[in-house]
Amino acid sequence: MIRRPCLPSTLLSQSGERCEISSQGQSELVANNGFQSSFYPIVEALYKGKPLETLFTTRNEQYHSQLLRGAANAYSMKSLTDLETQVQPVIDLFLNKLEEFGARGTKPVDAGNWVQYFTFDALGAINFSTQFGFLQTGTDVGDNMKTIDGLIAYLSIIGQAPWLHKVLLGNPVVQKILPLENYNEIQNFAIRMIERRTRGEQPDAGYDLLARLLEVAASEPTEKEGEAKTKQPPLTHAQIIALTTTNILAGSATTACGLRSIFYHLCRNPSALKKLQTEVDEAFSSGALSTPSPRYAEAAKLPYLDAVVVEGLRMHPATGFVLEREVPAGGAVICGEKIPEGTVVGINAWVMHANKQVFGEDAETFRPERWLEDGEERIKVMKRCNMTVRLSLSPFFFFFKDGNEANDFSSSAPAPALASDATSP
């Protein structure tokens, strides 16, 4: 792609069959029924020798809608907040391990790795009521983090010329030579957990995401208005595997990236850390936050905490990929320009989040106050151009315990490069 600077409300670049657009253009493309490009299926895992489509990878709009309908209840905000209790034991273990390996603050700890150990185990608890053992062992169990890094590297390169995938890992001959399906530790774990659950071998499991998805799968197919009722269940066995595996593989890396960014920027900005600590301490003192572990509904009411989370995610988006869409038949008008059908268009969060016309002259500076003090109209524009996924605030209380138990981020030692390992291909 050939890029040229221009206003955030216009087409950013166009070259041949690819162009990069602004967030306004992305919204217009979605409104024009733009669908995902051939970039996405590259990361589809194999299941029983065939590519397993997910919400992230599928280019089939009907399949995507059916999968989304089946998962909607499990992924609702109420369902996710109900799962907070599943995460608390993982948070406790995470804090204990940091104290153990850091000798209660006297030894340096690679927090970047430990944060991702946490996200893997937390998502294991949320999805399957079972931790993977990352925190307990302090290691990359099954080399899953290494595998994700390799997958991202492959996608970063081959995604720019998706046809190459057909002669590489997408080649059926290569797939027969390399046992790719056997190497997919997380997917195979998900398969085992689903089989155990359906056989009734995990009676102590909570009402986790797997339980919710299996509940949907067991329900009667619903008849959508204007469509004939089919015998296919709302979710199939393969689709549950796809959903839970994606939750772990994609969720662990992106959530870890967000946490690293927030912790890193708080380390680098003592004034922001002090202001946040004061807000949290006062909330504990007033009873606005439960002791010792606050709930999401309580945390969501703290304005500066919310601003810190949003700003941390803005400063280091979890992906550096251009989020591609393919212009549908008949073409589309995007930002006032006619784009022919079949053109791949997209927007890069890193470029958008550094746009000074949107976020101000200090766009590359960590300043949570911008989300509270920059004026109603400017904040509306920033929210519209903010491409990060909002994460639950509960995990961000690791380092903000009640009263004197607060962990100290204010060390005079140089801040570790927490964000350096984040997913940013």
* pLDDT tens, residue by residue, 317-334: 988 888 888 888 888 887
* pLDDT tens, residue by residue, 37-92: 888 889 889 899 899 998 888 888 888 888 888 888 888 888 888 888 889 899 99
| Total number of domains constituting the chain | 1
Res 301 pLDDT > 50: yes
pLDDT of residue 14: 41
Are 43 and 34 in contact, with CB atoms under 8 Å apart?
A: no
Query: Which has more confidence, 338 or 90?
Result: 90
Q: Could you give phi then psi for residue 324, rounded to 5 degrees?
A: -80, 145
207: CB partners within 8 A, 6+ apart? 82
How far apart, in whole angstroms, are the C-alpha atoms of residue 351 and residue 1? 14
CATH number at residue 130: 1.10.630.10
Res 266 pLDDT > 60: yes
Is residue 150 included in any domain, yes or no? yes
Is residue 319 included in any domain, yes or no? no
Helix (H, G, I), strand (E, B) or coil at 401: coil
* pLDDT tens, residue by residue, 4-32: 333 333 344 444 344 555 555 555 544 44
Is residue 218 included in any domain, yes or no? yes
pLDDT of residue 228: 53
Q: What is the mean pLDDT of residues 384-391?
A: 71
pLDDT of residue 348: 87
Average pLDDT over all residues of the chain: 80
**Count of alpha carbons within 13 Å of 393, Cβ hemisphere only?**
21
pLDDT of residue 415: 33
Are 271 and 66 in contact, with CB atoms under 8 Å apart?
A: no
Rounded to two decimals, what is the model's pTM? 0.82
Domain that holds residue 122: 39-269
Distances, alpha carbon 104 to alpha carbons 99, 164, 408, in Å: 4, 50, 10
- Least confident interval from 29-33, 112-116, 154-158, 179-183: 29-33
Q: What is the mean pLDDT of residues 177-197?
A: 89
* pLDDT tens, residue by residue, 349-375: 898 899 999 999 999 999 999 999 988
Which amino acid, one-letter code, is at 290?
Answer: S
* pLDDT tens, residue by residue, 94-136: 999 988 988 777 888 888 899 999 999 999 999 999 999 999 9
Helix (H, G, I), strand (E, B) or coil at 13: strand
Rounded to 5°, the CA angle 401-402-407 comes to: 40
Q: What is the mean pLDDT of residues 340-354?
A: 87
CA Rg value for the chain = 22
Q: What is the mean pLDDT of residues 192-207?
A: 87
Is residue 29 included in any domain, yes or no? no
Res 3 pLDDT > 90: no
pLDDT of residue 411: 34
How far apart, in whole angstroms, are the C-alpha atoms of residue 85 and residue 32? 41
Is residue 22 included in any domain, yes or no? no
pLDDT of residue 391: 42
Is residue 283 included in any domain, yes or no? no
Q: Could you give phi then psi for residue 274, rounded to 5 degrees?
A: -65, -40
Is residue 80 included in any domain, yes or no? yes
Is residue 216 included in any domain, yes or no? yes
Q: What is the mean pLDDT of residues 249-267?
A: 91
Q: Could you give phi then psi for residue 357, rounded to 5 degrees?
A: -70, -20
pLDDT of residue 365: 96
Distances, alpha carbon 22 to alpha carbons 121, 154, 326, 385, in Å: 36, 26, 15, 9
- pLDDT range class, residue 412, cuts 50, 70, 90: very low
Q: What percent of the chain has pLDDT over 90?
A: 38
